[in-house]
Structure 1
Amino acid sequence: MRSERVLLEVIATTVADAIAAARGGADRLELITAMGEGGLTPSIGMIEAVVAAVSIPVNVIVRPHSRSFVYDADDFAVMLRDVRAARSAGANAVVIGMLTASREVDRDALLRVVDAADGMPLTFHRAFDEARDLHEALDVLLEFDAVTNVLTSGGKPSVLDAVDEVRSLVERAAGSHCRVLAGAGLTVERVADFVCATRVEAVHFGSGVRGAALGVVCEEKVREVRGLLGG
């Protein structure tokens, strides 16, 4: 295992999740609702409650529906309002992603999100994995100083099957302002080997630190992952 501390982000869907993740040693939360749909925008009340309950950064997903990552004008108007609301509610960052019909990063939409975020950083979520060309998509995101993380499974359903792809993305982003955040399918048992093989500096856990059937966050599992990644 590497000596550097690897950032650990954990998905929270409730205040109890957030507290358990923080106690277990998570560095950051991704706050969502509808985990079974890949994550949708949580309520303002939930954002405020979680921000008040923990001392670690809370990144909030802004995703109005799970139909696709191509949004119409009405969808996007809602998203911009949610970005501003999340910022006002104390979010550390928003987690967002949008593609064009040709499966490229929607530059114009992203510019508008950066403006709405008003200095708040962005994570580009797994819409990235549906891009036509992941390296080309990453190059676009590297043009945006506000995009500080890219959440990816390397274009595969499980990131554990995308070691080469993730390592290539990590190398491409090296030395930039943007960090590759590897997630989807990570397990306690395999995370150490995965990090060694890819040299990734940040990992994202959802079901891997939960009980059966997307249950509540298990503080002990989070603590075990934290130990494996370097305390």
Structure 2
Amino acid sequence: MSKRAVLEVIALDAADAVAASRGGADRLELVTDMAADGLTPPRETFAEIRAAVDIPLRVMLRLADGFTVAEPGAPGDADALVEAARGLRAEGADEFVLGFLDEDGMPDLVTVERLLAELDGCRWTFHRAIDRAVDRDALRKQLADLPGLDTYLTAGSATGVDDGLPTLLAEARAAGRGEPGYGPHMLVGGGLRLDHVEVLVEAGVDGFHIGGAARPGGWEAPVSSEAVREWRTRLDG
């Protein structure tokens, strides 16, 4: 590889953050409620983690399970998302993770653009909603000019990296050719294992995202510095 691979680790609290940082994580994704695949953490949690570590933090903007936004007036609707974004910005958050689809499985540009107005140029990741889109290539092209978008978190498939590997390799080739919409960094995560790393690295992938893999004891257990260090060593090797 021509440059050090990015290793992003999911953190639920300050203890996770410290352990991940000690293990060699480059960046953290801050979430709560992994039973719902990761929702927006409280402002207080962000503040505690920000005080505990000095590596970049990307905060999830997602208030309900699923990848479509709730109807107006329902919990987790677009107004609530905007309020969450505003509060986190006020707390000092400057990197985010978000992504919503409409009922047809294409990007919900109305909601995304409302949030980007609050983020005011902050860098952000479009998360695994891409793995539920009806047309990944069209989604990338629709989002290509949005300010701050620098990363896609993807497993290549809604069911994880095992099934998504051919798609990931094809998209890595498209990025290598400089195709429109493939400029943002590819961050691979979702059922990612160490035995996936070699083929992904050979294809030019240099972004890796782990959650459960950083917690050998399961989601009820904290992040293990040793587990993160194993990933760091493999990526650096």
Contact residue 181 and residue 204 of structure 1 kept, 8 A = yes
Instruction: Give how far 1:146 is off.
Output: 1.4
Which residue is equivalent to 1:218? 224
User: Match for 1:151: what amino acid?
Assistant: L
Task: Pick from 195, 206, 209 the counterpart of residue 204 of structure 1.
Answer: 209
Please give the alpha-carbon distance, in whole angstroms, between the structure 1 residues aligned to 2:236 and 2:115. 34
Which residue is equivalent to 1:35? 34
Contact residue 164 and residue 198 of structure 1 kept, 8 A = no
Task: Pick from 122, 135, 145 the counterpart of residue 133 of structure 1.
Answer: 135
Contact residue 29 and residue 60 of structure 2 kept, 8 A = yes
Task: Pick from 181, 194, 210 the counterpart of residue 187 of structure 2.
Answer: 181
Instruction: Give how far 1:54 is off.
Output: 0.3
Which residue is equivalent to 2:60? 61
- Structure 2: runs of 5+ lacking an equivalent: none
Choose 131-140 or 167-176, whichever is displaced more: 167-176
* Distance change >3 Å, CA 158–CA 26, structure 1 → 2: same
Which residue is equivalent to 1:5? 4
Among all aligned residue pairs of Structure 1 and Structure 2, give the percentage whose two residues are the same amino acid: 34
Which residue is equivalent to 1:146? 148
Please give the alpha-carbon distance, in whole angstroms, between the structure 1 residues aligned to 2:59 and 2:6. 17
Instruction: Give how far 1:112 is off.
Output: 1.4
Please give the alpha-carbon distance, in whole angstroms, between the structure 2 residues aligned to 1:11 and 1:107. 26
Instruction: Give how far 1:197 is off.
Output: 4.3
Per the alignment, in what secondary structure is the counterpart of residue 154 of structure 1?
coil
Please give the alpha-carbon distance, in whole angstroms, between the structure 2 residues aligned to 1:202 and 1:131. 21
Is residue 93 of structure 2 the alignment partner of residue 91 of structure 1?
Answer: yes
Contact residue 116 and residue 147 of structure 2 kept, 8 A = no
Contact residue 69 and residue 78 of structure 2 kept, 8 A = no
User: Match for 2:230: what amino acid?
Assistant: E
Per the alignment, in what secondary structure is the counterpart of residue 123 of structure 1?
strand
User: Match for 1:168: what amino acid?
Assistant: A
Which residue is equivalent to 1:230? 236
Contact residue 40 and residue 62 of structure 1 kept, 8 A = yes
Q: TM-score, normalised by structure 2?
A: 0.90
Per the alignment, in what secondary structure is the counterpart of residue 208 of structure 2?
strand
Instruction: Give how far 1:191 is off.
Output: 4.0
For 1:152-171, list aligned pairs within 5 A.
152-171=154-173
User: Match for 2:191: what amino acid?
Assistant: G
Contact residue 135 and residue 169 of structure 1 kept, 8 A = no
After superposition, the C-alpha distances for 1:16-49 in whole angstroms (9 at most, x for unaligned) are 1000000101000000001121001101100000
After superposition, the C-alpha distances for 1:64-103 in whole angstroms (9 at most, x for unaligned) are 1104424323410011111122222222311111111101
Instruction: Give how far 1:141 is off.
Output: 2.1
Which residue is equivalent to 1:50? 49
* Distance change >3 Å, CA 92–CA 170, structure 1 → 2: farther
Please give the alpha-carbon distance, in whole angstroms, between the structure 2 residues aligned to 1:141 and 1:194. 28
User: Match for 2:155: what amino acid?
Assistant: S
Choose 4-13 or 69-78, whichever is displaced more: 69-78
- Structure 1: runs of 5+ lacking an equivalent: none
Please give the alpha-carbon distance, in whole angstroms, between the structure 1 residues aligned to 2:175 and 2:141. 8
Number of equivalences:
229
Per the alignment, in what secondary structure is the counterpart of residue 201 of structure 2?
helix
